[in-house]
């Protein structure tokens, strides 16, 4: 990997000499020079450095003051101090910070070259992901991470920033300040090895990059990585709470982000064989503006120069062309939700969302390409539903795919809405028909098996439904309780047997489902207001009279 190294010394001959020597090393170094602490500060505010080789004793801004700036902005930077004299106090102060080395100029170039080589080796080792991933995974709660990712995707793709956002941040333990704007960056992943990868492979790789990036970004910022629907990474970043009100804090955070994303790119390439191209906003956006900002970054990344390998492309969102020149944001998530409402039979929600999506398109307020894509997306969702569940002979699926068959956008979307109404009506009719068929089957079973177990559980098993649902369905279809219907069938059967047979009362009780004669007599008296024997006698008298 290429290591960015800054040489700082107020003596020009020393700075140039070090530059000359280090440029000949077999290390992949990208070298820069600064002839004062102030000049070094300009570089450090512009970009990330991996190693800073600096004199301590410099006028105006010495090496120790410079170290404080480096510690604040680039915590992963390695610092090598050079001094021409033994300064124990400075040495003690410097070595308190991990990654700092202290060399005397009199120790010669070999010691310096050795120190630079060791620093470079440490940087390469730190880019290996094992420890970083272990730290990240140990600190993550899987369920909280899933819920957080889903909510952030909701903010990005469904314009979900509303009055509930602050409460959602608190409950999901999202560290962002909802009152402050946020920086957004987009990372597109590609693989060094050209081979087909499974969905699980791609998701695992994206998650690995996310966890590794978290370990870098969370050290100096509040950040969150989200995997989008394309398998790319979206990073949202805010300054730490202790610095969020400082002047120029977002500008400094942008520089930190730009340099750190380069580090992440190097780590991904070296350790994972994954190439990451990054497009980042250079100014923060308000939370409700996130969906449009995301679209702008994706558009700019699509129109990038070259293949994007090791690219960190900056986008000044507020200086971009007006939103009217940006392609209209296609509501893909909402169209998918519309399809889910159709699949779930949720008519009211479907029609409300349909009207929301098509309102402007129906009156020609959107670009032609947008209206066309919206029409065919909804039509395809209906066609897919019809192919699986609908009545193909009754649904005009052929006409749905013929846009020009309808004279205007109002008529076209009107046909879609009318078709949806037909599909919901067919579904409702089908549900009612299947319910009636199921209840008819239950009633037939009761009539044929009146002497057997007719418990709700047994009947539910017959049509493979749960008992409580069968109970509700029966009352919905027949307007009465199932238990009442069974009693009526038993009563009718008992009356028929008492009238037309010479069977004993106890035998008739068994034939209508009562093993104990006294139980049958008690229930029959409740039905008829008389005992079975009294009923038989009255029925016999009536027959004699009629004869």
pLDDT single digits (tens) 474-491: 999 999 999 899 999 999
pTM of the model as a whole: 0.62
Which range has the worst mean pLDDT, 259-268, 297-306, 456-465? 297-306
* Domain 130-319 classification at class level: alpha beta
SS3 542: helix
Phi-psi region of 121 (alpha: psi -120 to 50; beta: other; left: phi over 0): alpha
Average pLDDT score over the chain: 85
Share of the chain above pLDDT 70, in %: 88
Residue 140 has pLDDT above 60, yes or no: no
CATH architecture designation of domain 3-126: 3-Layer(aba) Sandwich (3.40)
How buried is residue 120: exposed, middle or buried, by Cβ count under 10 Å (0-12/13-18/19+)? buried
Q: pLDDT at position 322, please?
A: 45
| Angle formed by the axes of helices 409-448 and 482-500, nearest 10° | 40
Which range has the worst mean pLDDT, 148-157, 163-172, 325-334? 325-334
Q: How far apart are CA 371 and CA 384, in angstroms?
A: 20
Sketch the domain layout of the chain as residue ranges: 3-126, 130-319, 332-429, 449-546
Residue 237 has pLDDT above 70, yes or no: yes
pLDDT digits (tens, 9 = 90+) for 45-66: 888 899 999 998 888 898 888 9
Q: How far apart are CA 207 and CA 205, in angstroms?
A: 5
Q: pLDDT at position 310, please?
A: 76
DSSP state of 106: G
Question: Given pLDDT bands bounded at 50, 70 and 90, which one contains residue 241?
Answer: very high
Enclosing H/E stretch for 154: helix 142-157
Residue 504 has pLDDT above 70, yes or no: yes
Which range has the worst mean pLDDT, 103-112, 370-379, 391-400? 391-400
Question: Given pLDDT bands bounded at 50, 70 and 90, which one contains residue 453?
Answer: confident
Question: Given pLDDT bands bounded at 50, 70 and 90, which one contains residue 136?
Answer: low
Task: Read off the pLDDT of each residue in 168-183 and give the average, rounded to a whole number.
Answer: 92
Q: pLDDT at position 530, please?
A: 92
Q: pLDDT at position 101, please?
A: 86
Q: How far apart are CA 352 and CA 338, in angstroms?
A: 10
CA distances from 304 to 278, 307, 364 (A): 10, 8, 32
Which range has the worst mean pLDDT, 119-128, 317-326, 413-422, 490-499? 317-326
Residue 139 has pLDDT above 70, yes or no: no
Task: Read off the pLDDT of each residue in 245-269 and give the average, rounded to a whole number.
Answer: 90
Residue 253 has pLDDT above 90, yes or no: yes
Share of the chain above pLDDT 90, in %: 37
Tokens 């750190």 locate to 260
Question: Given pLDDT bands bounded at 50, 70 and 90, which one contains residue 32?
Answer: very high
Q: pLDDT at position 160, please?
A: 65
* 449-546 belongs to CATH 3.30.540.10: no
Residue 142 has pLDDT above 70, yes or no: no
SS3 13: helix
Question: What strands lie across the sheet with 274-281, from one edge to the other?
Answer: 221-227, 233-239, 183-191, 274-281, 312-315
């Amino acid at each position: 990997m290429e290591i960015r190294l800054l040489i700082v010394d107020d003596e020009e001959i020393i700075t140039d000499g070090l530059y000359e020597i280090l440029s000949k090393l077999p290390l992949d170094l990208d070298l820069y020079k600064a002839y004062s602490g102030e000049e070094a500060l300009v570089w450090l505010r512009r970009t990330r450095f991996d190693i800073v080789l600096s004199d301590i004793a410099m006028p105006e801004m010495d090496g120790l003051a410079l170290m404080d700036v480096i510690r604040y902005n680039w915590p992963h930077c390695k610092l090598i101090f050079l001094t021409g004299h033994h300064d124990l106090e400075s040495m003690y102060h410097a070595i308190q910070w991990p990654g700092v080395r202290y060399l005397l100029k009199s120790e010669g170039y070999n010691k310096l070259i050795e120190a630079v080589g060791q620093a470079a080796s440490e940087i390469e080792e730190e880019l290996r992901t094992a420890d970083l991933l272990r730290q990240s995974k140990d600190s993550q709660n899987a369920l909280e991470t899933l819920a957080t990712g889903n909510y952030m995707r909701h903010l990005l793709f469904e314009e979900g920033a509303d009055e509930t956002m602050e409460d959602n941040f608190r409950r999901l333990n999202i560290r962002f300040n909802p009152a402050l704007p946020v920086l957004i960056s987009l990372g597109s992943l590609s693989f060094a090895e050209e081979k087909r990868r499974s969905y699980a492979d791609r998701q695992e790789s994206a998650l690995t990059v996310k966890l590794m990036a978290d370990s870098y970004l969370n050290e100096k910022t509040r950040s969150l990585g989200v995997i989008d629907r394309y398998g790319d990474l979206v990073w949202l970043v805010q300054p730490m709470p202790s610095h969020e009100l400082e002047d120029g804090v977002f500008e400094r955070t942008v520089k930190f982000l730009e340099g750190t994303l380069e580090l992440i790119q190097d780590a991904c390439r070296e350790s994972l064989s994954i190439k990451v191209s990054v497009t980042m906003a250079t100014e923060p956006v308000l939370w409700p503006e996130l969906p449009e900002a995301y679209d702008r970054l994706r558009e700019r990344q699509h129109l990038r120069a070259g293949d994007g390998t090791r690219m960190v492309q900056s986008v000044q969102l507020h200086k971009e062309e007006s939103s009217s020149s940006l392609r209209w944001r296609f509501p893909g998530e909402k169209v998918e939700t519309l399809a889910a409402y159709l699949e779930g039979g949720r008519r009211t929600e479907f029609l409300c969302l349909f009207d929301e999506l098509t309102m402007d398109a129906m009156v020609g307020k959107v670009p032609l390409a947008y209206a066309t894509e919206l029409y065919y997306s909804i039509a395809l969702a209906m066609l897919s539903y019809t192919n699986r569940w609908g009545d193909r002979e009754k649904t005009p699926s052929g006409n749905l795919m013929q846009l020009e068959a309808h004279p205007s956008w109002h008529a076209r979307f009107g046909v879609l809405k009318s078709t949806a109404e037909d599909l919901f009506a067919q579904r409702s009719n089908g549900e009612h028909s299947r319910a009636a068929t199921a209840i008819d089957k239950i009633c037939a079973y009761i009539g044929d098996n009146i002497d057997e177990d007719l418990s709700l559980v047994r009947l539910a098993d017959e049509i493979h439904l749960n008992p409580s649902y069968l109970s509700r369905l029966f009352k919905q279809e027949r307007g009465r309780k199932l238990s009442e219907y069974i009693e009526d069938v038993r009563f009718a059967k008992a009356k028929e047997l008492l009238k037309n047979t010479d069977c004993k009362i106890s035998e008739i009780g068994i034939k209508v489902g009562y093993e104990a004669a006294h139980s049958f007599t008690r229930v029959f008296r409740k039905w008829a207001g008389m005992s079975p024997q009294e009923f038989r006698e009255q029925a016999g008298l009536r027959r004699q009279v009629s004869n």
